A and B are shown apart, each in its own frame.
Chain A
């Protein structure tokens, strides 16, 4: 009896939960200088062979994109598969796809900053770069799909001899302002984050340049010092500067948060403000924003998993970072799945037969294959991340992230094409197919995206060095690794 009681007491004791240990954001307690070295050596060193191969492939793909755009401009939009009733084909699908990709970057840099998610610090630089490059790719499509591209300036309020102005009641014009603001503010935010890191590279170049006296290496070093130094704006890490810098950073994060939510809302207004069944729904803004963040995190993972392996950044972009991003994917993927369900429910519950027809046609009409591709990639595949193994195996996450990218492209295809292809007049119903030019122009934008991204890896610090340092215990004056004396009472427990 007493034996049994002793055993159970022991069992209780062994089941007392252990104190949770905070996982470090930079593994192995690396010193601060190690972070500088690890990130700067990518910029300062020679690029590995794979970079050269990838760059040549991307560059050629980009040239193909420009070639097909040239063909489109010189020949006319007839080279695309557009016709009545589907007048918004791949161009708009691709536009929404790329602009959505960008949203993860802003979410990571702004919203996670406001929420004090310190893990963002090792991924925000790359994610913001991705945003900027994705918006560049997105911006191409509305510009070229206007048909007479030499009149694209009509989109902007430019005083002109015709005495006419843009018509601001159209959501398409709101989009012009939303996307251009989004690009500009993302660029400002990204640049501001880069200033201290550019100063790091400038200072390292100056010290390295002392060993060089003349010759080509010296000239390259001088030129680089000038270029990085110019954009570093004379940054010295002054605390009087950091004070204003941090405030400005907070304000930019505060401005970017409503911005990112508004941009995809306004993109969704392009559809929702029209009268087309399948487009005219109030759920669009939140559904688009969630989808955008979902697709963006997919792309961040697609880019970051190979990058961290190839540049040996596993100790800065840790498995924990990947796991947290997977959790964002489950959350946003589930919101997207809910929105798909809710659209169907409202189509039935709303009692509008045309709306109901549009949705039945989406799932079971001629484009059923696109719809079910979308459902399997966007709703089913992210649910695998409920299992810890799936969230912590980089190669597996990489595969799922590719599915997410594919699924989100199909989502936009389903929205644009299935809603339009059977419109008001059954006599004009048709089946839209892209042409070779449509497909290869889109493939070409990946070349543009990757060219810019590879140049970014080559010339700029891919990790926000000062921010990554700032979240280590070595940076905390109240932590023993930050130099706090053990006699201080809060030395151990702080943070």
Chain B
């Protein structure tokens, strides 16, 4: 059973979509989005989005790396295999630092990329938008506003009228084929 998924409006320039995004945001929609070939500066404000939370994933990734690195070296060179080399202490934060530092960066980087995927709910290989032919130009040079039919404020006629008022090149309903 195919059912309506979203209404999409296509624009040619970043300025047009920015103006449209401001209007859709002002109309109080929640489940809507702007799709662009590159990040348009100022769009987060136009859509009323807050600061991204990826930094927490990076921070806890890095903290895990630092702790794991220090504990690993402490365990290996002080506890489990305590052999004096060159008269140096069995454990010291100084000699353990380079490795722990690299592990901080390693897990921090995994945290950043993983955090981006988690917050974006990606990978998402089934997406009705990806089956739409006009929408394929979103990764080339077109700009789209997408308002999902699940949105509480969605009303077929009113939403279409709102989008028509933003001077788009094209308006289309996208259906979910499943």
Contacts and interface: CB of A to CB of B under 8 A. Distances in A.
A485 B15 contact: yes
B109 A255 contact: yes
A251 interface: yes
Contact of A252 (B49, B109, B139, B141): B109
Given A168-B99, A178-B98, A239-B34, A477 B52 contact: no
Nearest to A201: B139
B127 interface: yes
Interface in A27-74: 31-33, 36
Interface string A239-282: 11111111110011001101100100010010000000000000
B63 interface: no
B119 A174 contact: no
A69 to B, nearest CB: 27
B54 interface: yes
A470 B38 contact: yes
A206 interface: yes
A345 to B, nearest CB: 28
A207 interface: yes
Given A206-B136, A483-B14, A234 B80 contact: no
Which of B47, B62, B73, B126 has most A Cβ within 10 Å?
B73
A165 B116 contact: no
A423 interface: no
Interface SS of B by simple majority: helix
Interface stretch (A182-190, A355-363, A409-417, A424-432): A182-190
Contacts of B122: 233-235, 241
Given A167-B77, A204-B136, A229-B125, A483 B109 contact: no
Nearest to B76: A165
Given A168-B77, A236-B129, A241-B122, A255 B105 contact: yes
Nearest to A202: B139
Interface residues of A, number: 74
Contacts of B14: 474-477, 482-483
B115 interface: yes
A317 interface: no
A353 interface: no
A483 B99 contact: no
A262 B108 CA distance: 15
Which of A173, A241, A482, A484 has most B Cβ within 10 Å?
A241
B136 A207 contact: yes
A326 B127 CA distance: 45
Nearest to B137: A203
Interface in A208-245: 210, 229-230, 233-245
Interface in A146-197: 157, 163-171, 173-174, 177-178, 181, 184-185, 188-189, 191-192, 196
Contact of B37 (A210, A240, A266, A469): A469
Interface string B101-140: 1110110111011011101101111110110010111111
Given A157-B76, A233-B122, A482 B34 contact: no
A466 interface: yes
A166 B21 CA distance: 57
Contact of A251 (B55, B73, B129): B55
Query: Which 4 pairs show the lowest CB-CB distances between chains A and B?
Result: A483-B13, A483-B15, A165-B76, A247-B52
Given A192-B116, A240-B47, A255-B112, 5 more contacts: A168-B96, A234-B122, A236-B127, A244-B120, A482-B15
7 contacts: A168-B77, A174-B102, A239-B47, A244-B116, A245-B39, A258-B101, A478-B42
